Amino acid sequence: MKKSVNLLIGICLCFSSVIAQEEKLDFDMLSKIRKEGFENSKVMETALYLTDVSGPRLTASPGYLRAADWAKNKLSSWGLVNANLEPWGEFGKGWEQQKCYVAMTSPYYVPLIAVPRAWTAGTGKKEIKTEVILIKAKDTIELMQYAGKLKGKIVMTSSSAQLKPSFEADGVRHSDSNLAKMAKVEFRPQQSQAPRPPQQNQMANQFSLQRRITELINKEKPALILTMNARGNDGTLFVSSGGTYAKNSEEAPASVVLSSDDYLRIQRLIEAGIPVELEANVKTAFFEKDLNGYNVIAEIPGTDPLLKDEVVMLGGHLDSWHASTGATDNAAGCAVMMEAVRILKAIGVQPRRTIRIALWSGEEQGLHGSRNYVKNHFADPAKMIPTADHSKVSAYYNLDNGTGKIRGIYLQGNNDVRSIFSKWFEPFHDLGAQTQTISNTGGTDHLAFDAVGIPGFQFIQDEIEYNTRTHHTNMDSYDHLIPEDLKQAATIVAAIVYNTAQRDEKLPRKKMPIVTGTNR
């Protein structure tokens, strides 16, 4: 038995070695890619227009459409063809914040750090000024004492949070030991879930009570709801949604996220018996004229008579949250992918396969843009019946983990591509990119392709300050981008896409997923 296993392993290793040896690298072209990517880069100029010029890019908002139109036109100006805003289906209402002023006026005056939650209403035509009501309830019985007392008031709920100083740096890069650990990960099929531990039951009860509190508040129609920053401090606000974008849905009451410091100060004053009065003027706008969602699509046509109908795709999500301009999440990824195709056009690449870039919308609300694109073009994961174009896609490459440089690639459980990527990354070892891990990073658009059996990959990136400072926050601005990291990433992406387009065969695929109740 052991001899048979060893023999099988030996055969597999030999086969992998043969694959690696068959990978041919065009070093002259790779040199041109590298020179263009580092010496003539336009990646920061692109990032500027996607962030500072376009503004926040919440899906279906004016800011998103500004950025999408600009990106489409820029791709066309670089020589890509078929550039268009492709509708993928109904998304829902657009929304944007137009004004936000919140200040404490009693017991003394201080302006507060606040951002409206997406898809929530404003405070009305006039500035409001009223006392804050703190809701403290450990069960539904205590909650009922607030019934009939919240209409037209500013309300908040009690928090048990305590701010603690951080003694770790906000920004970090992957260490060699961490990358080595990632590379050694073994693929394990998903295990069945273990019974829920008691603490999770307690959390479920807390969530249930919080839902009841939210229902009561919404029913009472307060003038403004204060919510506390979910994580972080020092003026960093993590902000997402407080309402729904669904067609014909009722507008949620005005709601803002306060910095943790401001929120807890107000709570302590009220608990000490000192009345707190705030004034606020929050204006938001909903857009319902066009409920469709749109992706930006453009191509570099293939030239090989036998392969030009096959496709290599690359992309990232163009939409963002609204507290800032979505620089690291994910203007950085879009700027890198746009720069990658610009590099290829600038050096005159005539790819064998068609290269198609996609900038997605609706990622922040559930990968809507990429999932619907895949459903419309390749396969519905609920049925897993491939279209004629399904077999023509060699790979999809995604970038969506901030401004950090590329350190390697997640193989997404597809071990058959390991030796291929190993060869392709060799010219970039000096740039710190060589790690491959069989594991996956979740929560972004490559999953839409992987869900229907198309090779979809996300690159490993240095985290920098993504999870500590910029992800979904009011700090996610142009100044948090690192130009040299983005140049490095664009150069590597351009090379990987080029190699995929020129390869004799498409990349190896995993088995087609089986339709289950969880396929969506």
224 and 338 within one domain? no
pLDDT at 139: 83
- Please indicate, yes or no, if residue 41 is contained in any of the structural domains: yes
Pairing of strands 311-317, 292-300: unpaired
- In this predicted structure, the answer to whether residue 96 has a pLDDT above a threshold of 60 is yes
Tokens encoding 323: 């507290």
**Greater pLDDT, 68 or 514:** 68
- The arithmetic mean of pLDDT across residues 122-127, rounded, is 95
331 and 274 within one domain? no
254 and 312 within one domain? no
349 and 474 within one domain? yes
Q: pLDDT averaged over the chain?
A: 92
Lowest mean pLDDT among 157-171, 387-401, 453-467: 157-171
Domain count, the chain: 2
Residue 140 burial (CB count, 10 A): 12
d(CA 176, CA 182): 10
Q: What is the pLDDT of residues 154-174, one digit of tens each?
A: 999 999 988 888 888 889 999
pLDDT at 517: 53
- The arithmetic mean of pLDDT across residues 459-480, rounded, is 96
Contact call for residues 359 and 318 (beta carbons, < 8 A): yes
- Please indicate, yes or no, if residue 113 is contained in any of the structural domains: yes
428 and 396 within one domain? yes
68 and 110 within one domain? no
388 by DSSP, 3-state: which? coil
Tokens encoding 55: 């503004």
Strand partners, 81: 299
Q: What is the DSSP letter of 374?
A: H
Domain-terminating residue out of 270, 287, 304: 287
Domain-terminating residue out of 252, 287, 322: 287
Pairing of strands 114-116, 255-258: antiparallel
Contact call for residues 349 and 29 (beta carbons, < 8 A): yes
Which residue reads 């009472």 in tokens?
220
pLDDT at 5: 37
- Please indicate, yes or no, if residue 382 is contained in any of the structural domains: yes
- The arithmetic mean of pLDDT across residues 4-9, rounded, is 40
- Please indicate, yes or no, if residue 179 is contained in any of the structural domains: no
CATH of the domain at 126: 3.50.30.30
pLDDT at 218: 84
Angle at 54 between CA 51 and CA 59, to 5 degrees: 95
pLDDT at 214: 84
Q: What is the pLDDT of residues 168-226, one digit of tens each?
A: 888 999 999 999 999 998 876 554 444 556 555 555 666 777 788 888 888 889 999 99
Q: Omega of the bond prior to 107 within 30 degrees of 0, cis?
A: yes
315 and 422 within one domain? yes
313 and 279 within one domain? no
- In this predicted structure, the answer to whether residue 3 has a pLDDT above a threshold of 50 is no
Residue 344, H or E segment: helix 332-346
Q: What is the pLDDT of residues 8-59, one digit of tens each?
A: 334 444 444 444 447 899 999 999 999 999 999 999 999 999 999 999 999 9
Residue 238 burial (CB count, 10 A): 21
Which amino acid, residue 171? Answer: G
Chain mean position to CA 302: 29
- Please indicate, yes or no, if residue 173 is contained in any of the structural domains: no
- Please indicate, yes or no, if residue 327 is contained in any of the structural domains: yes
CATH of the domain at 400: 3.40.630.10
Domain-terminating residue out of 246, 264, 287: 287
356 and 308 within one domain? yes
Q: Whole domain around residue 417: which residue ranges? A: 23-91+291-502
382 and 301 within one domain? yes
d(CA 321, CA 330): 10
pLDDT at 195: 55
With b for 16 or more beta-carbon neighbours within 10 A and e for fewer, the 104-118 pattern comes to beeeeeeebbbbbbb
- Please indicate, yes or no, if residue 15 is contained in any of the structural domains: no
128 and 237 within one domain? yes
List the 456-461 sheet strands across, edge first: 81-90, 292-300, 354-360, 311-317, 393-398, 456-461, 406-410, 435-437
* Helix segments in 232-300, DSSP class H: 260-271
- In this predicted structure, the answer to whether residue 449 has a pLDDT above a threshold of 50 is yes
Q: Omega of the bond prior to 330 within 30 degrees of 0, cis?
A: yes
- Give me the percent of the chain exceeding a pLDDT of 70: 91
Output phi, psi for 290, to 5 deg: -125, 115
Q: What is the pLDDT of residues 506-516, one digit of tens each?
A: 999 999 998 76
- Please indicate, yes or no, if residue 192 is contained in any of the structural domains: no
273 and 223 within one domain? yes
With b for 16 or more beta-carbon neighbours within 10 A and e for fewer, the 198-224 pattern comes to eeeeeeeeeeebeeebeebbbebebbb
